Amino acid sequence: MESLVPAPLLQVIDQHTAFVTSRGLLKAVDGVSLRLERRSTLGIVGESGSGKSILARSIMRLLPPSAVIGDSSRIVLDGHELGSLSERDLRRVRGRRMAIVFQNPMMSLNPVLTIGTQIGETLTHHLRLAKAVARQRSHDLLVAVGLPQPDVRIDQYPHQLSGGMRQRVAIAIALACEPALLIADEPTTALDVTVQAEILDLLQRLQRERDMAMILITHDLGVVAGRTDEVAVMYAGRIVEQAPTRALFRNARMPYTRALLASIPRLDDAGHSRLATIEGRPPDLIHAPRGCSFQPRCPRASDRCVREAPALTRSDGHACACWHPVSGEVRA
Amino acid sequence: MSTPPALLPLQDEKSSGGSHGTPMLRVDELVVEYALGRGRVVHAVSGISFELARGETLGLVGESGSGKSSAARAVMQLPRPTSGRVRLGDTELTALDGRALQRERRRFQMIFQDPIASLNPRRRILDIVADPLAIQGEGSTDERRARVCEMLERVGIDATQALERRPHEFSGGQCQRISIARALILRPELLVCDEPVSALDVSVQAQILNLLEDLRETFGLTMLFISHNLAVVKRVSDRVAVMYLGKVCEIADAETIYRHPAHPYSRLLIEAIPEPDPDRLVARNRIAVAELPSPTAPPSGCRFRTRCPRAEPHCAENEPPLQVVAPGQLAACHFPHARTSQQRASTA
């Protein structure tokens, strides 16, 4: 595996994550490989059931015990293979080297502890800071994430904060130990548009200031549009297209990506016009269709698509898993 | 903001298509307040007025806490508003007693944000969709069944498959279709849609929006469409009303709100929309990281002034009335944006 290319910050190698259900094995993540360079930003876009959140949890090794991980699957962060670490070492890596922000900050915040205590806990635990130092650092973090009135808020409980403020606190906790990788899993989905814009701006600023790499997971293509270096589109547990952000939006090759882009309402659209839709529904992840997973809904599907699943192949830095990719610009 | 005389024409230079005849829906000085106990009151809706012509769709946008859902529910009389008048055609809903209102409900129906939660999980789809008919005492069991089948097919649900099933066997998008079938089975004139696509995936959202457009045309529906997503609202609406902290701050036709927003808040909302275009991340006017003030104690004067980049001392003292800023465009602002400087700013 040694090469002249410096090792990336994160490598996801052939990740398979499945769950045992009463109907059979549900393949939530079905063979995903990724590399993420230091200080770069990757958007992962997909609809519900595409496997994007399970991928995030697989990277963080935050999966329920019922999860079945593939034998050949590996997550390598900073040259360390996370699967080989003990739970204790893993806990050290989480927080210090990588951190995650979830959609619902109430899930990650403890309702009976003050904001200051929760950030301070992270600092005293991971960095062994003295309490007074930790409090000062907590305050600095609240300032950094733009929480209004940090002097007051630090002694308040999560329920006293609005949704946007809670998400700022969750971000402050994630950043407390200056991780090299921040995963934001639908960080703004529960927020109003104006607050969403502020939180996305904040994440972008912090990512640059702190030299972090960031994975931004969302169902909303608009969220990743101006804010990531690269975008990966997931469908039925796999990455079906990955490209530099501009190339993806300008020249999407996978019919699914194109259809998804066309189905978003835009402000420029004429009133009462009809949106392009994708026929059918996402596949059942227990009994996935043969061949390409998008094939049953795809207007370009051929016999080959039914027979053989296309591999994700890269040309000019633009990867796409499709036997009949589309060429040319999206929507002139 | 005292109560105006009862039937004062609201907007003389109305932009909406059918200004002839009685409007389909007319809302006057609608107020919704919720008691919090200990004398504290949430002012959810603080005196809003608007009209809908027959066949028109009015979009209602705003952030959470703006009062848009409370306003929609007050129109539905669910619960009845604290004060104000709601007229549907020639019928004043706010003046009806419970039984008369119940009868009148066939004319106005509603669909909700969470399609799964709004269907009773223990009942069959047949019973759920037939319920409005049963309540209104329409038709025999067989007739109801036939009408349910017909309506389910219209919303894109295979009735033969669906009738005996229960909601959990359907996806979110399908449940929303079933909710729409239930809402339309009495052939209402007015359909109130409260965030009908917010819980759905993008591809499903597109299907439901198209379906609503088709049904609007087929049944000649008048719609009140509530959403926080201005791009969604703009496409389905003829006119759009922007709400902030219980008040309407701007109302105009959809294209005008988007091209030439007069109120700083409308502008802020439009600029915040994440558009799926990497070259178009709008250079936003930085607004202070102030959050929505509490609706228990709204700011004096203009309610938006605490977040407004244009606010002056005057704004704290005088509440700006909703007034005409251009033909067909009303805004409640002392310093509205002028039209000429208002091309949508985009950076490449």
Q: Around Cβ A114, how many Cβ atoms within 10 Å? A: 17
CB contact under 8 A, B281 and A227: yes
A186-199 average pLDDT score: 86
Tokens of B76: 């539905």
The answer to whether residue A192 neighbours chain B at the CB level (below 8 Å) is yes
Please tell me the distance in Å from B199's CA to the nearest CA on chain A: 10
The half-sphere exposure of A63 on its side-chain side, counting CA atoms within 13 A, is 22
The pLDDT-based confidence of A123 (bands split at 50, 70, 90) is very high
Q: Which amino acid is at B135?
A: I
Give A 236-275 residues with CB within 8 A of chain B: 245-246, 249, 259-261, 263-267, 269-275
Name the DSSP class of A160.
Answer: G
How far apart, in whole angstroms, are the C-alpha atoms of residue B322 and residue B247? 9
Residue type, A176: A
User: pLDDT-based confidence at A148, cuts 50/70/90?
Assistant: confident
* Residue percentage of chain A with pLDDT more than 70: 98
Asked if the Cβ–Cβ distance from B272 to A194 is below 8 Å, we say: yes
Task: Assess A48–B contact: CB distance below 8 Å, yes or no.
Answer: yes
Q: pLDDT tens digit string along A272-320?
A: 888 988 888 788 889 888 899 999 999 999 999 999 999 999 988 999 9
Measured between alpha carbons, how far is A210 from B170 in angstroms, rounded to an integer?
45
What is the predicted pLDDT for the residue at B301?
Answer: 94
How many whole angstroms separate alpha carbon B207 and alpha carbon A113?
A: 44
Name residue B251's beta-bridge partners.
Answer: B241, B330
A interface test, pick of B289, B346, B347 with most A CB neighbours within 10 Å = B289
| Nearest CA among A174, A122, A120, A118 for reference residue A145 | A174
Summary mean pLDDT of chain A? 92
Q: Dump pLDDT digits (tens) for A21-59.
A: 888 999 999 999 999 999 999 999 999 889 999 999 999
Tell me the C-alpha to C-alpha distance, in Å, between residue A327 and each of A242, A247, A330, B130.
15, 12, 9, 49
pLDDT by 10s per residue, chain B, length 348: 444 443 334 444 444 444 457 899 999 999 999 998 888 888 999 999 999 999 999 999 998 889 999 999 999 999 999 999 999 999 999 999 999 999 999 999 999 988 889 999 999 999 999 999 999 999 999 999 999 999 999 999 999 999 999 999 998 899 999 999 999 999 999 999 999 998 888 888 999 999 999 999 999 999 999 998 888 999 999 999 999 999 999 999 999 999 999 999 999 888 888 888 877 665 554 554 456 788 888 899 999 999 888 999 999 999 999 999 999 999 999 999 988 544 444 433
B112-115: Cβ within 8 A, 24+ apart: B112/B179, B112/B194, B112/B195, B112/B196, B113/B194, B113/B195, B113/B196, B113/B198, B113/B199, B114/B199, B115/B172, B115/B173, B115/B175, B115/B176, B115/B178, B115/B179, B115/B199, B115/B200
ipTM of this predicted structure: 0.82
Residue labelled with tokens 């036709």: B253
Question: Cβ distance B317 to B249 under 8 Å?
Answer: no
**Measured between CB atoms, does A226 come within 8 Å of chain B?**
yes
Residue B171 and residue A198: Cβ atoms within 8 Å? no
Q: Do A267 and B292 touch (CB under 8 A)?
A: no
Is B229 in Cβ contact with A265 (below 8 Å)?
A: yes
Determine phi and psi for B168, rounding to 5 degrees: -65, -15
Q: Give residue for tokens 């030299």.
A: A211
Q: Do A267 and B231 touch (CB under 8 A)?
A: yes
State the Cα–Cα distance between residues A248 and A242, nearest whole angstrom.
7
The strand pair at A41-45 and A24-36 is best described as unpaired
Q: What is the nearest CA distance from B43 to chain A, expressed in angstroms? A: 18
The reported pLDDT for the residue numbered A221 is 92
Q: Determine the pLDDT at residue A4.
A: 63
Using CB atoms, which residue from B201, B272, B281 is nearest to A48?
Answer: B201
Residue A271 · residue B238 · CB < 8 Å: yes
Q: Which two tokens stand for residue A82?
A: 């996370």
List the single residue in B237, B272, B278 with the smallest CB-CB distance to A225: B278
Cβ neighbors of A284 (< 8 A, separation 6 or more) are none
Q: What pLDDT sits at residue A271? A: 87
A221/B255 touch (CB, cutoff 8 Å), yes or no: no
For residue A272, list chain B residues with Cβ-Cβ distance below 8 A: 213, 235-236
Do A236 and A283 form a contact (C-beta atoms < 8 A)? yes
Distance CA B42, CA B65 (A): 10
Q: Are the beta carbons of A265 and B209 separated by less than 8 Å?
A: yes
The DSSP symbol for A7 reads P
- List the alpha helices (DSSP H) in chain A: 52-60, 87-96, 105-108, 115-127, 131-144, 150-153, 163-175, 193-209, 221-225, 245-251, 255-262, 303-307
**How close does chain B come to A81, measured CA to CA in Å?**
34
Q: Note whether A220 contacts B274, CB cutoff 8 Å.
A: yes
Nearest Cβ partner for A225 among B203, B234, B275: B275
pLDDT at A1 over 70: no
The pLDDT of residue B344 is 47
Query: Minimal Cα distance from B257: which residue of A?
Result: A267
Nearest neighbour of B235 by CB, restricted to A165, A261, A265 = A265
- CA-based nearest distance B111→chain A, Å: 19
The closest of A217, A276, A259 to A50, measured between CA atoms, is A217
Q: CA A282 to CA A259: how far, in whole Å?
A: 13
Out of A226, A267, A277, closest to residue B273 by CB: A267
pLDDT of residue A279: 83
3-state SS, one letter per residue, for chain B: CCCCCCCCCCCCCCCCCCCCCCCCEEEEEEEEEEEEECCEEEEEEEEEEEEECCCCEEEEECCCCCCHHHHHHHHHCCCCCCEEEEEECCEEHHHCCHHHHHHHHHHEEEECCCCCCCCCCCCCHHHHHHHHHHHCCCCCHHHHHHHHHHHHHHCCCCHHHHCCCCHHHCCHHHHHHHHHHHHHCCCCCEEEEECCCCCCCHHHHHHHHHHHHHHHHHHCCEEEEEECCHHHHHHHCCEEEEEECCEEEEEEEHHHHHHCCCCHHHHHHHHHCCCCCHHHCCCCCCCCCCCCCCCCCCCCCCCCHHHCCCCCHHHHHCCCCCEEEECCEEECCCCCCCCCCCCCCCCC
